[in-house]
Amino acid sequence: PQEPQAPFPYEEKEVSFTNVKHGFSLGGTLTLPEGKGPFPAAILVSGSGSQNRDEEIFGHKPFKLLADQLTRRGIAVLRYDDRGVGSSGGSAAESTSGDLAGDARSAFDYLLSNNIIDHSQIGIIGHSEGGMIAFMLASSHKDIAFIISLAGPGVDGKTILLEQSDYITSLSGVASSIREDNRIVMTAVYDIMMANESYQVWEEEVIDFTSKFYSEKDMGYYSEEDIERGKKNLLASIPESSYAWMRYFVMFDPTPLFDSIKCPVLALNGEKDCQVLPEKNIQSIKNGLLTAGNTNTFTMILPGLNHLFQNCETGLPNEYGILEETFDQKTLDMMSEWILQQVH
């Protein structure tokens, strides 16, 4: 992994700020370039799942690397522990992307209170779900100077999850008939979810649907054990504590937001991203923003990169931890240069 090593030619400050609405504080690191300031700034917003300020995954710390690279180029960076992680209060259970957007906005408000930051030049860089949060905030807050979406969703959550599952299983060599059954079941799972706020009702209806669906199949194909194990795994994959998050994500469609995003946008996806498939998502972001008249929109699909922006072979998630690279250097350089063009 490419972990930045001290001594650093910039200042690192341990900071905390408050989500006033929910009454807890979040802990983070603010890196400040050399010099007097005021500096342009970027806030880093992590992808789904509870992550620390470095967005640490499989021994890699992409947000630590990103903060290091940007701060060396004169951009202050605030990264923070997600709620319920590290030095941040609150709890991820029951919270949705909408709640997490409130945490990111609290980070923004903290920078607005800090005079070493240029208040007219604060942007948001979001990875995966963080890209979705960047779109949410930029559509409703006109004081955001720029956003960078790194593998952010351009289409609704249900579509993303169905296509992700189908693509990963096809790359993994799963037979097309099993993939088709899986798609029918998961479509029903998400449709039942969209119709029911109650986890218990959802659980009952999913069990009813899957039992009926598999009982009508040719039983030579799936054993009773397969079916029971499948049901158990399915329910375990969406526990009650994350149901509110999942339901919000499945129902969320970013496309109406694009009409009201007027700040500069850089949207990037790896060509081998298996989790947020590049063509459909990038095309939707590009079309939405350009149709709404946002001409300062730059989108790109980056050859050979996966969901974490590592150069890779397959792009499958089981490869993330094996790869030595944390984040493609050319992409880091492109992001730095693009931000400097927007803020100067």
Measured distance CA(336)–CA(341) in Å, rounded? 9
Q: What mean pLDDT, rounded, does the chain reach?
A: 95
Q: Which two tokens stand for residue 2?
A: 């490419």
H/E element, 228: helix 224-237
Give DSSP secondary structure letters for 54-98: T--BTTB-HHHHHHHHHHHTT-EEEEEPPTTSTT--S-STT--HH
Structure confidence at residue 104 as a pLDDT band (50, 70, 90): very high
Beta strands at 24-32 and 76-80: parallel, antiparallel or unpaired: antiparallel
Per-residue pLDDT tens for 138-188?
999 999 999 999 999 999 999 999 999 999 999 999 999 999 999 999 999
Q: How large a percentage of the chain has pLDDT more than 90?
A: 89
Per-residue pLDDT tens for 264-285?
999 999 999 999 999 999 999 9
Per-residue pLDDT tens for 209-241?
999 998 887 666 778 888 888 889 999 999 999
So what's the pLDDT on residue 226?
Answer: 83
Measured distance CA(327)–CA(2) in Å, rounded? 8
H/E element, 25: strand 24-32
- In this structure, which amino acid lies at residue 330? K
So what's the pLDDT on residue 219?
Answer: 63
List the beta bridge partners of residue 78: 30, 43
Structure confidence at residue 344 as a pLDDT band (50, 70, 90): confident
- Residue 12 φ/ψ, nearest 5 degrees: -115, 125
Apex 43 CA angle, 45 and 283, nearest 5:
60
Dihedral of alpha carbons 182, 187, 285, 335, sign: negative
* Beta-carbon-side half-sphere exposure of residue 6 (alpha carbons within 13 Å): 3
So what's the pLDDT on residue 58?
Answer: 92
Beta strands at 297-302 and 24-32: parallel, antiparallel or unpaired: unpaired
Measured distance CA(220)–CA(309) in Å, rounded? 42
Would you say the pTM of this structure is higher than 0.85?
Answer: yes
Residue 118 pLDDT greater than 90, yes or no: yes
Higher pLDDT, 332 or 220: 332
